[in-house]
Amino acid sequence: MTGSHEQAETGFSRDLSGPNVGRRIVLVGTASTLPGLAPQFVFGTGLAKAVAVVALGHAPDPTRLCGLPTWRSLNELHEQHERDPISMAVVSVPHREGRLRDDVLARLRDLGIIARLVTPLDELLLGDAATPQKQNVNIDPARLIDRTPRSIDRGAVAQVLEGRRVLITGAGGSIGSELCRIAASFNPACIILVERSENALFDIDRTLARRFPNVPRRAVLHDVTDATSTLDHFVALRPHTVFHAAAHKHVPLMEDHPSHAVDNNFFGTKSVVDACLAVGAERFVLISSDKAVHPSSVMGATKRLAEMYVHGLSNQAGESGTGLSMVRFGNVLGSACSVLPIWESQISEGGPVTVTDARMTRYFMTIHEAASLVVQASALSIRKGAPAAVYVLDMGRPVRILDLAHRFIEAHGFRPFTTESVCPTDPRVPNMEIRFTGIRPGEKLHEELAYTAEHLSPTSHPGILSFASPATTAHDVGRLVAELAAVRHCTDKGIVLAAIRRNVPDMKTSSLDTAHTANMSKHQKLRAA
């Protein structure tokens, strides 16, 4: 049997009535879960009506499913969805079959079908399964940030991906791997996975082989900072569309290793976009960041430098026929080493959950929505020879990190408290402390998505804005490359920072830069004495 409370394991209560009435809903489950789930959507009062069930594995007798049509596989669901779109799928899979559940959710996500999870009732009644500390809680990130993900125009995207050779750098990363999965769903001629991490490349290659066995693919173990080898690969593989997601993204680490940020974020971008122009690729899309706006960190400043370089190639791009664009967005929930996996680990260890500052806010989007809109942006028209198009994803309202922590902790069945608040004493609900750790080097309290002078305009797709920005001159690009080349392997952090700040003058002074300036003044005084 299954429980009637949708998404019970997350602590969220979602009403399946109201706006869901009249929508096409299917039930997805196994022989052990469907018989208990189906009657609730056929005879239950106040619930939306189901139109069919999707039986995974060995299908039960259809007569036990209240007469609902039975679709025997996810492939059949796909076919039916193409004929008459499905609005929502209610999924109930035993906890022991987590791999099956994850595959189902991934397939539904690819089809653009909203998924709602129902925990089997027998599992809820088991003590261990119902204990928050011991169960794997499946949390919908979109609900955490109270955001309805935007869909994409699959017809428009198909025109630039279907039958094309699509290359993704950083293919094993959070955004890169999602780009791979989305692109593979458009029947490309080939998916080219470029990644320097052996394990990450192996994982995404295996994932695509399982989920898209008919899509040709190439796994390329390669570091894009090697410009010569990058060009060799592009000449051999001749990609049509290139998504450049490879980058160093962790702010505190890049504060300590600025030359690595210059090498990977700037020269890695230069290597890839140069190769695109050399082989006449149709489109190049740089994955940028809101941290590139008025940067306070090395990571943000080097992403800004990468944007500047792409801008400066507009004339050459027009001659080669390559359309250049950049997509700038904020944080993505659930990416590797981001806040949610960290909090998940902290909760599993008994806490506390750490938050840097109670005032801090961030723009958030789910990994899938961010990657989907990046793919959508690649389908927007680009004028050849014009300055590189810059697209900014509509991230909605910024979210206070402390509020996000409260929701996340409550979804795990705990009651959050801070040292500034009174610790709850209700013995029925375990407590979880939130501890403030202070802002780390390079971090800002609030991020921005665009400069004041960048006048954002709507595009043909809701959720994507654009602005026109003057291209950097060829002379500026040459000077930029020469100056950064001199420090890309420099071990003196202060020298690297000085070179970055000369080219990104609005970069805010960091504690590292201040310390270096103080040391320089001290040495000068000693020499003078």
The pLDDT tens digits along the chain (529 residues) read: 443 333 333 333 334 444 444 578 888 988 888 887 877 776 554 556 788 888 887 655 554 566 788 888 888 888 888 888 888 888 888 877 777 887 888 888 878 788 888 877 766 665 444 334 444 556 777 777 777 777 788 888 998 999 999 999 999 999 999 999 999 999 999 999 999 999 999 999 999 999 999 999 999 999 999 999 999 999 999 999 999 999 999 888 999 999 999 999 999 999 999 999 999 999 999 999 888 888 989 999 999 999 999 988 876 766 778 889 899 887 787 676 678 888 888 888 788 999 999 898 887 888 888 898 899 888 886 655 566 778 888 777 888 989 999 888 888 878 888 876 666 566 566 788 899 988 888 777 877 766 555 567 777 787 888 876 555 656 588 899 999 999 999 999 999 999 999 999 988 765 444 444 444 344 344 334 4
Nearest 5°: the CA angle 208, 210, 213 is 75
Q: How far is 455 from 335, CA to CA, in rounded Å? A: 30
Place of tokens 């925990």: 119
CATH architecture of the domain with residue range 154-399+444-467: 3-Layer(aba) Sandwich (3.40)
Q: Where are the domains of the chain?
A: 8-138, 154-399+444-467
B/e letters for 241-276, b = 16+ CB within 10 Å, e = fewer, are bbbbbbbbbbbeebbebbbbbbbbbbbbbbbbbbbb
pLDDT, residue 516, reads 42
Q: Which fold has domain 8-138?
A: Rossmann fold (3.40.50)
Query: Does the annotation mark 291 as catalytic?
Result: yes
pTM: 0.70
pLDDT the model gives residue 508: 75
- Residue 509 has what pLDDT? 65
Q: Residue 417 to residues 45, 393, 400, 426, 478: CA-CA distances in angstroms?
A: 38, 34, 16, 12, 54
Of 49, 134, 270, 291, the active-site residue reads 291
- Cβ-based neighbours of 191, under 8 Å, separated by 6 or more: 166, 168, 180, 183, 184, 208, 212, 215, 216, 217, 218
In the prediction, which pLDDT does 428 show? 62
